[in-house]
Amino acid sequence: MTSAIAADGVRKRYGDIQAVDGVSLTVETGEFYGVLGPNGAGKTTTLEILEGVREPDEGSIELFGLSPWPRNSKLLPRIGVQFQASAFFDQLTTRETIRLFASFYRVGVRRAEAMLERVGLTDLAGVHADKLSGGQAQRLSIACALVHDPELVFLDEPTAGLDPQARRNLWDLLRDINAEGRTVVLTTHYLDEAEILCDRVSVMDHGKILKTGAPATLVRELDDKVRVSVESGLVTAPAMCELLAEVGAGSVAVEDDGVSLTVATNTPAPVLSVLAEQGALRGLEVRGATLEDVFLQLTGREYRA
């Protein structure tokens, strides 16, 4: 089966800046694929090259086996590109905006109205685009990208700047879009978003893809320690070390910062048993590694979105 996207050796330079430095990736049909990285990593440039709106200096790109550059009219009906909300015409209403996008693709008014309904903007159909909240504007931009029913949708940081509730609402919409069978490619600098939404993510920094995989696989491959924490004062750190040695709990690190006692371990089961036997489970939290730890290991520095 042909992949939705196959890119090989893509490079793009702006003056002295090598924005994209040898990116190769494959996105399978139906996948929810994330390109994750901090500001300036090269995510937007990569996405624009994949969309066919920017010419690469080097490399080959195929969407459904076709080259997106120069602009390929056979591909245009099959792909949806989310424009940044700020690119809307402020003086058009929500309804006029979606109808304008629908007209680009010769899509009827009924479908445009259905899209507004789908993203929950019917009640705001008469409101000017510049009066929409950040979340509403993002939903409108996603509706515009979907109005012609594309198979492959590109979203560039769709939840940037939204409050937590608006982000979660948008996540539900994005999940539904993918569940309908569409391939979704999203860039984000939010690690939690990538972890929650994406089947696979490429972690990007300084124009290069450092690693690609399912978020859970990337985290598991770290083989990082699990952190088991309880409230301080239930059992002391030295006592905990002794108890864990008695049961042969293996390599552990015990720390008490006055708020929590934390045991870092590869084998949490005996740690939990000892805490339970001591009646010291108040405030129990068990934390595994996250994509943040993956980024730290790949780059040697903390993740800064």
Ligand X SMILES: Nc1ncnc2c1ncn2[C@@H]1O[C@H](COP(=O)(O)OP(=O)(O)OP(=O)(O)O)[C@@H](O)[C@H]1O
Q: Which residues contact ligand X by CB under 6 A?
A: 14, 17, 19, 37, 39-45, 189
* Cβ 138 vs Cβ 186: under 8 Å: no
**Cα→Cα distances 282→215, 232, 258, 271, Å:** 30, 9, 14, 14
Q: What are phi and psi of 18, to 5 degrees?
A: -85, 90
State the nearest-atom distance from the C-beta of 14 to ligand X, in Å.
3
State the nearest-atom distance from the C-beta of 166 to ligand X, in Å.
19
Q: How many helices (H) and strands (E) does the chain have?
A: 10, 13
| Pick from 21, 64, 79: nearest CA to 209 | 21
Report the residue number, 152 or 209, with the smaller CB distance to ligand X: 209
Report the residue number, 39 or 91, with the smaller CB distance to ligand X: 39
State the nearest-atom distance from the C-beta of 37 to ligand X, in Å.
5
Report the residue number, 18 or 273, with the smaller CB distance to ligand X: 18
State the nearest-atom distance from the C-beta of 240 to ligand X, in Å.
43
DSSP string, 57-118: SEEEEEETTB--TTT-TTTGGGEEEPPPGGGS-TTSBHHHHHHHHHHHTT--HHHHHHHHHH
State the nearest-atom distance from the C-beta of 36 to ligand X, in Å.
9
| Pick from 172, 162, 50: nearest CA to 119 | 172
Cβ-based neighbour number of residue 142 at 10 Å: 24
* Cβ 93 vs Cβ 126: under 8 Å: yes
Report the residue number, 74 or 304, with the smaller CB distance to ligand X: 304
Report the residue number, 147 or 185, with the smaller CB distance to ligand X: 185
State the nearest-atom distance from the C-beta of 71 to ligand X, in Å.
18
Report the residue number, 19 or 240, with the smaller CB distance to ligand X: 19
- C-alpha R_g of the chain: 24
Mapping DSSP to helix (H, G, I), strand (E, B) and coil, where does residue 172 land? helix
State the nearest-atom distance from the C-beta of 32 to ligand X, in Å.
19
Report the residue number, 37 or 270, with the smaller CB distance to ligand X: 37
215 vs 192: CA distance, rounded Å: 10
